[in-house]
Structure 1
Amino acid sequence: MPQYSYSQSLKIMLIPYLIIGILWLPLTFMIEKYYDSILISQFLVIQITTAFLFLIGFYFNNTSIYDIYWKVAPMFFVPYWSKGSGNIILPILVYFYCIKQNYTYFRFWPGLSYEDYRILEIKQKSPSPLIYWSIVYLGFEVCPSIMVFFGHLPLYYVFIQQNPCNFAYNFSIIFTILSITIEFIADYQLFPYRSKLLKGDCDIGLWRYSRHPNYFGECMYWWGQYLCQLSFGFENAWTIIGAASIQALFSFYSIPDMENHLLKKRDTYANYKKKVVSSFFPWFRKEK
C-alpha cells in the first residue's frame, strides 16, 4: 500500500464524505420520486453511500475510510426525519454524539497507515481477495450501516407522534445525555494509553470499575433512543430490534473479541481482568 502523509490521508478520508454531504438530498429526492417514504429513501441512500465508500476504500486498499461513516450518516438522516416535527433536542443530541465519536476517532487516527486489527486478521486468514473484500463489505460496512439505521429508527416514530409521558420522555433524554457523557469520559481517560503516551492497562477513573466503560456508554446511547420512543407508548415497541441487535453485537462479539486481543497483546491484562471483574457494567473491584 502506498504511504500517504497525514494531510494526504485526511483529504482521501474526508473528500468522499464531502461528496456524500452534497449528494444526500439530491439522492433522497430522486428516490422519493419512486418510493414515497422517507424511511425507504434514507435506508437506500445509506446503502448507496456505503457502497460508494467501499469502492473508495477498495481503490486505496484501506478499509478505515469507512470507519467514521456510522458516526456521520445519522447527521444526515435524523434531521431529515425530524423536519416539521418541531423537535430540536433529539437531533442536537445525535449531532453531539456523532461529533464526540468522530473527535475521539481522529484524536488517535494516524492516517491511512491504520486499519482495525480485526480487518488485518481477516486479511491474513482470507484465502482470496474476493472473499476478503466480500467480508469487509457485507460484515464491516453493510451490517453496521443497517444497525445504525435501526438503532436510530425509534427517533422517526418520536418525530411523528405527540403527547408522550413527560416523565418517561424526560428520563430518556437525561439517560441519553448520561450515556454520551460516560462514553466521552471513558474515551478521554483511555486516550493516553491508546495513543501510547502511557503504557500498560488503563486502570483509572471509569476503567477501575469496568473493563469497557466506553462500550457501556455506547450501548446506553442506543437504549436511550428506544426509551425515548417508548415514552409514547408500546405501539412501536418492535423498534427494540435496533438497540437489542447492537447490544448483542457488543456482548457476543466486540467485547469477547477485544478481550482476546488484549490478552494476546499485553501480559498484564490477565491481572487487570482479575481486579476489574466486570467487562461491561461498572461494578466493584476485586483487589485480592
Structure 2
Amino acid sequence: MGSGSVSYSNLKNASIAFLVPLPSILFYSSFLSAINGGPKSSSSLWTWCYHHPLLLANLLFFFNVNLLFWIIGLIQSSHWMIDPYWTVIPVMLVHFYSTHPLAQYNWLRSRIVILLTWVWSIRLIHNYLRREKWQWGARQDWRFTLLSQHYGTNWCWASFFAIYVPEQVLLIGLSVPFYVVHSVNQPLSIWDLVAVVVCVSGIVIAYIADTQLHNFVEHKNKGILEKGLWYYCRHPNYFGEQVWWWGMAVFSWKLGNGWGFVGALANSMCLAYVTKLVEDRMLKQDSRAEAYRLYQNTTSVWVPWFKSSSPLPKCKDA
C-alpha cells in the first residue's frame, strides 16, 4: 500500500472517529435544551431522560457504540474503533453525569475527578497513537482477530456479542463512580486524598510501564523485557490500569456506595483473562518460550515484587 493510500485511510478513519459520537452529543444537547426550557417544552421522552440518567447512559451507549460502531466495523472489516474509544467514553460519561439536571455534588470533588479522568484519557490515547505510529484504525486488536478466526463465518453477528456488549458492561460499570460522585453531595475527607493518590499512582505506573514496553519494541530487542517495572512483575501496565480504576472506586465507597467496586472487580477479572491470552501468545513463540517460562516462574504476575530466584539468562537471537 502506497503512502498516499495510507494517508487517505488515516484521514478517513480519523474523521470517522471524530464524527461518530455526534448522535449521542446532539441527542443529549437537545435533552438539556428541552429541560432548560421548562416543563411546558418537556415531552415524555425528555421527562424519562431526566429521571433515569443511568439508563439513559446505557441506551446512548447501546445505540451509538454497540450498534453504530458494530455496523462501521462490519463495513470496514475491522473493529478498530473500540480501542481509541475506550479512552474517550469515560470522559464523555463523567461530563454526562456532571451536567445532568439531577446531578448534585461537591464542586471540588467533581472537578478533581473530571481532571483525573482527562489525565488518564490523554495518557491512554497517547499510548494508543504512539503504539499505532500515529495512525487511526491501522489494525484491530489482535484478540479480535483471534476471535474472528474462531467464529469463522459466524463472526458477522458474533462480533456484536463478543466485542461490544462486554464493552458496555465494562465501561458503564467502571464509570459508576462518576455517577456516584455526581449524585451525592458530601464534604471532602481524607478518603478523597487517598483516592487521588491511588488514581495518580495508577496513571504513573501505567505510563512508565507502557513507555518501557514501547521503547523495548521500538529498538527491536530480542528476548523478554525484564527491566524497569517489568523486572518486578510481568504486567505492570495492567497493574497500573487496575490501580487507577480501584482508586476511582474509593471515591464511590467513601460516598456510601460500595457497589461502585463492581466495575473495577469486573475489569480485574477481564484483565486476568487477557493476561492468560497474552502469556499463551508469548509461549507460542519458539524464540521466547523458554525464557518466558522462566520469567513466569520467577516474576510476579501483576503486583510488583522481588524475583523469586536468579535473573533470566540471555535469550539467543532468533
**TM-score, normalised on structure 1?**
0.89
Larger Cα-atom Rg? 2
Indicate the RMSD between aligned Cα atoms, in angstroms: 2.3
Residue 118 of structure 1 pairs with residue 132 of structure 2: no
CA distance in structure 1 between the aligned counterparts of 2:121 and 2:3, rounded to whole angstroms: 29
Conservation of the 8 A alpha-carbon contact between 1:54 and 1:66: no
Residue 168 of structure 1 pairs with residue 183 of structure 2: no
* Deviation per residue, 1:67-119 (Å, 9 max, x gap): 21121111212112123642211111111111111110110115545232222
* Deviation per residue, 1:134-191 (Å, 9 max, x gap): 3322222221122111111122111221225611111011111111111011101110
Residue 12 of structure 1 pairs with residue 35 of structure 2: no
Question: Could you say what secondary structure the match of 1:72 adopts?
Answer: helix
Residue 192 of structure 1 pairs with residue 206 of structure 2: no
Residue 286 of structure 1 pairs with residue 308 of structure 2: yes
The 10-residue stretch of structure 1 (136-145 or 51-60) with the greater mean CA deviation from structure 2: 136-145
CA distance in structure 1 between the aligned counterparts of 2:268 and 2:46, rounded to whole angstroms: 32
Question: Could you say what secondary structure the match of 1:64 adopts?
Answer: coil
- The one-letter code matched in structure 2 to 1:141 is Y
Structure 1 residues 183 and 90 mapped into 2: Cα distance closer, same or farther (>3 Å)?
same
For residues 46-85 of structure 1, the aligned pairs below 5 Å read 46-50=61-65, 51-83=67-99, 85=105
CA distance in structure 2 between the aligned counterparts of 1:230 and 1:62, rounded to whole angstroms: 38
Structure 1 residues 49 and 194 mapped into 2: Cα distance closer, same or farther (>3 Å)?
farther
- The one-letter code matched in structure 2 to 1:120 is T
Q: 2:261 matched to which residue of 1?
A: 240
Matched residue pairs, number? 282
Structure 1 residues 196 and 8 mapped into 2: Cα distance closer, same or farther (>3 Å)?
farther
Conservation of the 8 A alpha-carbon contact between 1:211 and 1:273: yes
CA distance in structure 2 between the aligned counterparts of 1:127 and 1:7, rounded to whole angstroms: 31
Q: 2:34 matched to which residue of 1?
A: none
Q: 2:49 matched to which residue of 1?
A: 35
**Could you tell me how far 1:279 is from its partner in structure 2?**
0.8
**Could you tell me how far 1:229 is from its partner in structure 2?**
1.2
**Could you tell me how far 1:58 is from its partner in structure 2?**
1.0
Structure 1: which 5+ runs fail to align? none
**Could you tell me how far 1:33 is from its partner in structure 2?**
5.0
Q: 1:263 matched to which residue of 2?
A: 283
Structure 1 residues 195 and 133 mapped into 2: Cα distance closer, same or farther (>3 Å)?
farther
% identical equivalent positions: 24
CA distance in structure 1 between the aligned counterparts of 2:140 and 2:269, rounded to whole angstroms: 24
Conservation of the 8 A alpha-carbon contact between 2:180 and 2:252: yes
CA distance in structure 1 between the aligned counterparts of 2:159 and 2:4, rounded to whole angstroms: 22
CA distance in structure 1 between the aligned counterparts of 2:171 and 2:223, rounded to whole angstroms: 33
CA distance in structure 2 between the aligned counterparts of 1:2 and 1:159, rounded to whole angstroms: 49
* Deviation per residue, 1:13-61 (Å, 9 max, x gap): 3222322343333222456454322222222112222121221111111
- The one-letter code matched in structure 2 to 1:80 is F
**Could you tell me how far 1:63 is from its partner in structure 2?**
1.4
Structure 1 residues 64 and 81 mapped into 2: Cα distance closer, same or farther (>3 Å)?
same
Conservation of the 8 A alpha-carbon contact between 2:21 and 2:64: no
Conservation of the 8 A alpha-carbon contact between 1:53 and 1:65: yes
Structure 2: which 5+ runs fail to align? 32-44, 311-318
Conservation of the 8 A alpha-carbon contact between 1:154 and 1:225: yes
